[in-house]
């Protein structure tokens, strides 16, 4: 609590200080900084500051100075974005309180696949060769279709500009024998350009709980390779080709009770991306794009004593997506963008009867115009026709009104959806130790009949008819309203958000088994909302000292449960007496893994004379709960799975010498904060990195 007030004070202080400087600076000539360009928000180049949507950009410079090497680390340092690890250690992002399942991850505008139980592990991505990371908050299905409910994260790679061979090679070593090696080369020779990138990342892992057998994180090593080619056939045609490979090998052995298991898990991902840019005229451009990706994960565990294979799982997903999009620029600079595409998605995995596939066709259009000089409007919509669920129509409208030269108001509303995934439709899994069964919705009836025929079913608790209508896509409507203030030395941005979700897919019991366990299947039921505000301020004290502070306030609740609580229908146990008590509204904490407060404070200092820079980033996350512990299916103050609020501090310092060499030293988690319930956060991690740039 103390820390929360501290953060509030700092924030308020900052706003006040900035307020004063604003008065002084008000007559100075307009902004002379480089304007940051965003691609993700509109699929055309737009200035960050002119956009009507909440967008965060993380530049290569910030990534390098911060000493981050994986995407999860740098995302975690952005306001309103946190990473949440699931049971298998996959780190997914949460934006505006919306879980990883509902956030689309792109590289150069094309989607990455390979989610485990909906969670996309952003730890998979190295940040060694990226130009910038763009995060668009709020539903973006009007351009990107499924999964873009909470927002879109797009990783933009760098295009070579210079005809001199340039690049860098670096080696970093840190605590837990964490090693990161990068080689990045790029060059442009007249019409031809190329970029080659390789990364190796490895660690011995770590153990947060030495009392228990096995490590928290087992040793692993992974490699990322990326090759890109650029060729301009003429002024009108240019080609982009990109191939990427990611592969990871991790020891998966562990000891449970007295049994020790050994084995390993392997992940492999391929991406192939071809794009032809066709410039018909100054007004009309078309992009022809073809994309293919494959994500493959294997894990095998054997009993070390007997050699018996205990578990063997496979996950093999393919996605193929051709798309054509065209942008017409009108005389008044309004832009009309339209696209059509086709997507083929295929998954073969353990616990599926057979390989399953989806296909969908889609079309979208977007009009970006200034109705009057001060008012920018973006209106767009997309239609998705899908083989497995109802067609989706996803509209979006965004407005930005320039109140003065430095102040603008923004508002947007959009629809987002997420198609039921393969697991929710085709899973057929029985836990061998405990005996419960989980069935995908589309196979539930058939499998239930099989179980019944085998005499495993005591009774079916839902009517058969409730398993016949197709599962609906999960959907949300998101609202964002904000103000943006931008002066020469400082800027501040306030955004209020609300996301209303419906038809969320969760499991429910459909039958009881004779062994006392249940059969679960998926169905649409939850309606939740997340709402709050986000405040970001940046202040440049001098040309060399930058301060920034960010804060997110979040309320995330299940509407139905909120109602039940209000009606006094939810109970908990008094920990003293074990007797039932009624849970009051103020005791209903909200959804799991959601913190009411998130804040960050950063200082970046360039010491020009010494060719050095140093920075400190403080991140605060308030208390949150991991799971229900008292059987009432929601998080209340009586639950015991709360993780108390905590601060992590990251610090990094770099110095360039002999022109081409940069030495960086740093410490992540300087305060050495650890908690058994946060397996992805080891104690203090020290590192040193040597970079050679040419």
Q: By CB under 8 A, tell whether 533 contacts other proteins.
A: no
Q: Which CB sits closer to other proteins, 542 or 577?
A: 577
Q: Which two tokens stand for residue 33?
A: 């900084």
Could you give the CA distance from residue 51 to residue 495 in angstroms, rounded to a whole number?
Answer: 13
Closer to other proteins by CB, 29 or 579: give it.
579
Task: For residue 105, give the nearest of 316, 298, 296, 295 by alpha carbon.
Answer: 295
Q: Nearest approach, Cβ of 627 to other proteins (angstroms)?
A: 9
Number of neighbours of residue 344 by Cβ within 10 angstroms: 15
Using DSSP's 3-state secondary structure scheme, residue 686 falls into strand
Q: Which CB, 38 or 301, lies closer to other proteins?
A: 301
Nearest to other proteins of 234, 578 (CB atom): 578
Q: Which of 12, 35, 311, 515 binds other proteins (CB under 8 A)?
A: 515
- The CB-of-260 to other proteins minimum distance in angstroms stands at 17
x-marked contacts with other proteins along 458-497 as a string, rule CB under 8 A: x---------------------------------------
**CA 315 to CA 347: how far, in whole Å?**
7
First-residue to last-residue Cα distance in the chain: 49
DSSP 191-212: TEEEEEEEEEEEE--B-S-TTS
Which of residues 26, 165, 403, 582 is near other proteins by CB under 8 A? 582
Pick the binder of other proteins from 281, 577, 586, 609 (CB under 8 A). Answer: 577
CB of 593: closest distance to other proteins in angstroms? 18
Q: How many CB atoms lie within 10 A of CB 507?
A: 15
From 331, 631, 658, 659, residue interacting with other proteins (rule: CB under 8 A): 631
- Tell me the closest approach of the beta carbon of residue 579 to other proteins, in angstroms: 6
Q: Which of 234, 306, 578, 609 binds other proteins (CB under 8 A)?
A: 578
User: Given the complex with other proteins, which of 241 and 581 has the nearer CB atom?
Assistant: 581
Answer yes or no whether residue 433 interacts with other proteins by CB under 8 A: yes
CB of 617 to other proteins, least distance (A): 34
Torsion sign across C-alpha atoms 141, 145, 149, 151: negative
| Contact in structure between 363 and 340 (CB atoms under 8 Å) | yes
Q: Are 272 and 291 in contact (CB under 8 A)?
A: yes
User: Of the ranges 23-31, 201-209, 628-636, 652-660, which one interacts with other proteins (CB under 8 A)?
Assistant: 628-636
Select 13 or 214, whichever has its Cβ closest to other proteins.
Answer: 214
Residue 89 found at the interface with other proteins (CB under 8 A): no
- Which residue, 260 or 294, is less far from other proteins as judged by CB? 260
Q: Please, which residue, 622 or 632, has the CB nearer to other proteins?
A: 632
| Nearest approach, Cβ of residue 565 and other proteins (Å) | 12
Question: In this chain, which stretch among 185-193, 313-321, 408-416, 513-521 interacts with other proteins, using CB under 8 A?
Answer: 513-521
CB crowding 172-182: b at 16 or more within 10 Å, else e: bebbbebbbbb
Separation of alpha carbons 688 and 171, rounded Å: 8
Query: Of 75-83, 330-338, 433-441, 479-487, which part binds other proteins (CB under 8 A)?
Result: 433-441
Q: Binder to other proteins among 68, 632, 648, 691 (CB under 8 A)?
A: 632
267, two tokens: 């992940």
From 460, 439, 405, 364, select the one nearest 145 (Cα to Cα).
364
The correct pick among 31, 407, 509, 643 for binding other proteins (CB under 8 A) is 509
State the minimum distance, in angstroms, from the CB of residue 438 to other proteins: 12
Q: Which is nearer to other proteins, 486 or 573 (CB)?
A: 573
What CA–CA distance (Å, rounded) separates 146 from 102? 8
Give the span between the Cα atoms of 686 and 275, in whole angstroms: 41
Interaction of residue 189 with other proteins, rule CB under 8 A: no
Picking from 155, 128, 158, the residue whose alpha carbon sits closest to that of residue 63 is 128
The counts of H helices and E strands in the chain are: 7, 41
Contact 461, 510 (CB under 8 A): yes
Helix, strand, coil % (nearest 5) of the chain? 15, 55, 30
**Phi and psi of 683, rounded to 5°?**
-65, -160
Helix/strand/coil for 634: coil
Map 145-176 to HEC letters. CCCCCCEEEEEEECCCCCCCCEEEEEEEEEHH
DSSP states along 350-384 = TT-SS-EEEEEEEEEEEEEEEEETTEEEEEEEEEE
Cα 27 to Cα 21, 49, 410, 448, 520: the distances in Å are 11, 20, 24, 73, 65
117 binds other proteins (CB under 8 A): no
DSSP reduced 3-state for 188? strand
Q: By CB under 8 A, tell whether 580 contacts other proteins.
A: yes
DSSP single-letter state for residue 515: T
Distance between CA 40 and CA 132 in Å, rounded? 11
Among the listed ranges 361-369, 386-394, 547-555, 579-587, the one in contact with other proteins (CB under 8 A) is 579-587
Stretch near other proteins under the rule CB under 8 A, chosen from 89-97, 102-110, 141-149, 508-516: 508-516
Number of residues that bind other proteins (CB under 8 A): 26
Interface with other proteins, residue 313, by CB under 8 A:
no
Least distance between other proteins and beta carbon 677 (Å):
12
Binding of residue 56 to other proteins (CB under 8 A) = no
- Residue 561 sits at φ, ψ, to 5 deg, of -70, -35
Q: Residues 535-574 vs other proteins: string with x where CB under 8 A?
A: ----------------------------------xxxxx-
For other proteins, which is the closer residue by CB, 583 or 647?
A: 583
How far is 639 from 452, CA to CA, in rounded Å? 37
The binder of other proteins chosen from 66, 216, 296, 518 (CB under 8 A): 518
- Is residue 434 a contact point for other proteins (CB under 8 A)? yes
Tell me whether residue 346 or residue 677 sits nearer to other proteins (CB atom): 677
Give the x-and-dash track for 315-344 against other proteins (CB under 8 A): ------------------------------
Any contact of residue 581 with other proteins (CB under 8 A)? yes
Among 13, 214, 470, 516, binds other proteins (CB under 8 A): 516
d(CA 80, CA 126): 21
Instruction: Check residue 598 for interaction with other proteins (CB under 8 A).
Output: no
Query: Which listed range, 467-475, 485-493, 529-537, 623-631, lies at the site for other proteins (CB under 8 A)?
Result: 623-631
> Does 297 participate in binding other proteins (rule CB under 8 A)?
no
Q: What is the DSSP code (8-state) at residue 610?
A: G
Of 5 and 578, which CB lies nearer to other proteins in the complex structure? 578
Q: Of 518 and 669, which has the nearer Cβ to other proteins? A: 518
For residue 553, list its beta bridge partners.
Answer: 533, 597
> To the nearest whole angstrom, how small is the minimum distance from the Cβ of residue 240 to other proteins?
48
Piece of the chain touching other proteins by CB under 8 A; list 313-321, 399-407, 548-556, 578-586: 578-586
Cα gap 227→382, rounded to integer Å: 32
- Residues interacting with other proteins, by CB under 8 A? 433-436, 458, 509, 512, 515-518, 569-573, 577-582, 629-632
């Amino acid at each position: 609590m103390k820390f929360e007030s501290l953060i509030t004070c700092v924030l308020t202080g900052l706003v006040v200080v900035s307020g004063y400087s604003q008065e002084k600076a008000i007559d100075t000539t307009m902004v002379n900084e480089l304007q940051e360009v965003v691609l993700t928000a509109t699929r055309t180049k737009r200035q960050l500051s002119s956009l009507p949507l909440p967008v965060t950009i993380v530049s290569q410079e910030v990534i390098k100075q911060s000493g981050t090497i994986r995407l999860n680390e740098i995302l975690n340092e952005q306001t309103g974005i946190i990473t949440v690890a699931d049971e298998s250690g996959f780190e997914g992002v949460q934006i505006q309180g919306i879980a990883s399942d509902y956030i689309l991850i792109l590289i150069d505008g094309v989607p990455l696949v390979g989610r485990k139980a909906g969670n996309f592990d952003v730890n998979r991505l190295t940040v060694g060769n990226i130009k910038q990371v763009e995060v668009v908050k709020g539903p973006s299905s009007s351009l990107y279709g499924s999964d873009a409910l909470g927002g879109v994260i797009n990783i933009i790679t760098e295009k070579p500009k210079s005809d001199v061979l340039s690049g860098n090679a670096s080696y970093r070593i840190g605590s837990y024998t964490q090693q990161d090696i990068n080689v990045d080369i790029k060059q442009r020779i007249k019409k031809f350009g190329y970029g080659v990138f390789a990364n190796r990342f490895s660690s011995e892992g770590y153990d947060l709980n030495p009392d228990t057998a096995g490590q928290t994180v087992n040793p692993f090593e992974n490699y990322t390779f990326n090759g890109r080619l650029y060729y301009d056939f003429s002024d009108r045609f240019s080609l982009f080709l990109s191939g990427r490979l990611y592969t990871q090998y991790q020891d998966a052995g562990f000891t449970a009770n007295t049994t020790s298991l050994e084995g390993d898990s392997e992940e492999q991902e391929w991406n192939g991306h071809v794009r032809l840019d066709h410039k018909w005229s100054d007004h009309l451009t078309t992009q022809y794009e073809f994309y293919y990706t494959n994500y493959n994960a294997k894990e095998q565990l054997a009993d070390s004593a007997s050699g018996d294979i205990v578990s063997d799982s496979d996950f093999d997903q393919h996605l193929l997506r051709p798309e054509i999009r065209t942008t017409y620029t009108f005389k008044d600079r309004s832009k009309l963008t339209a696209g059509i595409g086709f997507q083929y998605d295929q998954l073969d995995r353990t616990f599926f009867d057979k390989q399953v596939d989806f296909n969908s066709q889609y079309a979208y259009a977007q009009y970006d115009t200034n109705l009057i000089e001060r008012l920018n409007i973006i209106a767009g919509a997309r239609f998705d026709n899908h083989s497995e669920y109802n067609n989706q129509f996803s509209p979006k409208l965004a407005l930005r009104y320039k109140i003065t030269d430095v102040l603008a108001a923004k508002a947007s509303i959009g629809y987002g959806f997420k198609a039921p995934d393969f697991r929710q439709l085709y899973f057929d899994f029985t836990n061998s130790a405990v005996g419960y069964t989980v069935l995908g919705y589309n196979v539930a009836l058939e499998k239930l009949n099989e179980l019944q025929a085998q005499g495993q079913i005591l009774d079916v608790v839902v009517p058969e008819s409730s398993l016949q209508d197709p599962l609906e896509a999960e959907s949300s409507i998101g609202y964002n309203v904000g103000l943006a203030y931008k002066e020469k030395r400082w800027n501040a941005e306030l955004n209020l958000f609300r996301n209303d979700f419906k038809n969320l897919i969760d499991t429910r019991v459909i039958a009881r088994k004779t062994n006392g366990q249940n059969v679960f299947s998926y169905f649409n039921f939850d309606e939740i909302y997340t709402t709050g505000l986000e405040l970001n301020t940046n202040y440049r004290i001098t040309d060399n000292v930058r301060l920034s502070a960010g804060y997110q306030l979040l309320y995330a609740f299940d509407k139905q449960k909120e109602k039940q609580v209000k009606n006094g229908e939810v109970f908990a146990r008094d920990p003293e007496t074990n007797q039932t008590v009624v849970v009051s509204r103020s005791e209903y904490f909200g959804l799991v893994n959601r913190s009411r407060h998130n804040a960050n404070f950063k200082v970046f200092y360039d010491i020009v004379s010494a060719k050095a820079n140093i920075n400190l980033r403080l991140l605060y996350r308030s208390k949150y709960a991991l799971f229900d512990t008292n059987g009432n299916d929601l998080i209340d103050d009586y639950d015991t799975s709360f993780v108390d609020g905590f601060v992590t501090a990251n610090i990094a310092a770099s110095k360039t010498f002999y022109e081409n060499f940069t030495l960086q030293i740093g410490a992540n988690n300087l305060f050495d904060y650890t908690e058994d319930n946060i397996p992805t956060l080891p104690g203090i991690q020290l590192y040193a990195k040597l970079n050679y740039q040419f």
